[in-house]
Amino acid sequence: MKELLKDIYAVLEDVESYLHACSIISFDQQTVCPPDGMEQQGEVQAFLENKAFCLLKEEEFTRNTEKLYAGLDDLDNAYDRSLALMLHRTYLKKKNITPEMDKEFSLIINKAFVKWLEAKEKADFSIFEPSLSAIREMSVKETALREESLPLAYDNLLYDYEYGLGTKELDACFSICRERLVPLLQKIQNSPKKIRTDFLTRPVTDEQQKEMARYLLDVIGFDFRRGTFSTSEHPFTDGLGENDVRVTTNYDPNLFCSSIFSIVHEGGHALFELLQPKENFAHHISTRKTMGMHESVSRFYENRIGRSRAFIHLIFGKAKEIFADVLSDVTENEFYEAVNVVAPSLIRTDADEFTYIFHIMIRYELEKMILSGEAPIHDLPSLWNDKYEEYLGIRPSNDREGVLQDVHWTSGFGYFPSYAIGNMYNAMYFNRMQEDLDVDQKVASGDFASINAWMAEHVFKKADLLDPAEWIQDITGRSLTPDDFLDYLEKKYSEIYEL
């Protein structure tokens, strides 16, 4: 087994070198690459991704990984057992995909990103439509070729992001969310309580937002020797390696809170990468953690911590110092209530914490329709707009604030439910954390060392060792449920709106 692992590690080191280069190209493409150079960047990235794919498809490597999986019970440690399982699943997924197909798929994805940027800038879905049609066809073709393909194409894609959670489980969760949140939203909208928000759209500079972003990353414990931050059209985080994690945000001169919460969100992703066990890298399993796990952490820092009274108390003084003209006549309580105001809006990333899940349910329902063939790609803008009107009572006036607002469909389908699942996970482990720590006291005093240490031990430590159902059971002793999250929303917003 030791010799087998040695040979497998050697190949994976080469694969990771190619993918590291791809990540650098992708980061460059999304941050500083000039528009006319983006397509070529994508072609280079597709070339390197294909080189990595070919290494994983070599006969000797495939034979070795299947031997490793066959001897799963004989492996000495949990890290290598996790690796064996991860490689076996990858083998089943990619077995019938040829290098030529893989390169074709990569080129489709990279071209889609470039076309999406152009379409979003011009608010014209027709520019992106051919690429999105190609993404759908690619997704259906790829899932059908899997060695152990699930009956529904969409379930296969959902499993890619959150193994074990498909449409059956998500339909049940979202049904409960609708049942409990729709009546509460109506009560909130009918509440006589009026929250002051006039200052939220006062103009600020990019430099002010950059200063605040750096301060917030420092507050939550981001390591600037192992990470950096920049700006991009759509905020993201990329873990390039054990000591290189990059986050981005976006500055809107008339929505300064957007960058505040996007940088805390992305900072949460970064902490997950930075504080995971070093053994994950040594055993090549640092990418096994799911996106539901990841989004649970980013939304934990963004919302459960970032929008709490304790966190607002901690940062309000600095916010008044940086945004002096904006907050000069604003009290701490007014600021707390404003960043928690419930107001149906068009843009998911700027949505309030309460209505955010409706944005996810809309995308989930559309993705089901797209993959089943019920929703022709050409009709997506109108279908999108209709669902926003149905769920939130508002309607986009153009494609930029509608169907083109998110980057995710440039790389396929199945990601969006991760955000909602993440909210459910973090509500569960927040309640578990409360048993060990006075969370509000730690946050208000700026003691993120204690919070991050708890997260590292309970949330991060086994994320790459366990499947999602096992992971949340290990942390909380319970199976996934939306109840903790819904209880939290009901309590918090009933207090804010004096219901």
Nearest to 121 by CA among 221, 28, 233: 233
d(Cα 84, Cα 464) in Å, to the nearest integer?
Answer: 12
Count Cβ atoms within 10 A of the Cβ of residue 81 and give its class: 0-12 exposed, 13-18 middle, 19 or more buried.
buried
Identify whether 59 is a catalytic site residue: no
Closest CA to 83 of 6, 145, 148, 21: 6
Q: Measured between alpha carbons, how far is 468 from 81 in angstroms, rounded to an integer?
A: 16
**266, 353, 367, 401: which one is catalytic?**
266
CA distance 319 to 316: 5
**C-alpha pair distances (Å), 304 with each of 265, 429, 430, 450:** 11, 11, 8, 16
Residue with tokens 């040594």: 282
Query: Which tokens in the block code for residue 481?
Result: 């449920």
Residue 214's closest CA among 169, 162, 263, 269? 263
Exposed (0-12), middle (13-18) or buried (19+): which is 183, by Cβ within 10 Å? Answer: exposed
- The residues pairing with 248 across neighbouring beta strands, listed in sequence order, are 230
In this structure, what token pair is assigned to residue 32? 């500083």
How many beta carbons lie within 10 A of that of residue 167, not counting itself? 18
Distant-in-sequence contacts of 22-27, Cβ < 8 A, 24+ apart: 22/48, 22/49, 22/52, 23/238, 23/240, 24/240, 26/238, 27/230, 27/238, 27/240, 27/246
Letter string b/e over residues 212-231, b meaning 16 or more CB atoms within 10 A of that residue's CB: bbebbbebbbbeeeebebeb
Angle between helices 356-372 and 380-392 (to 10 degrees): 140
Active-site residue numbers? 266
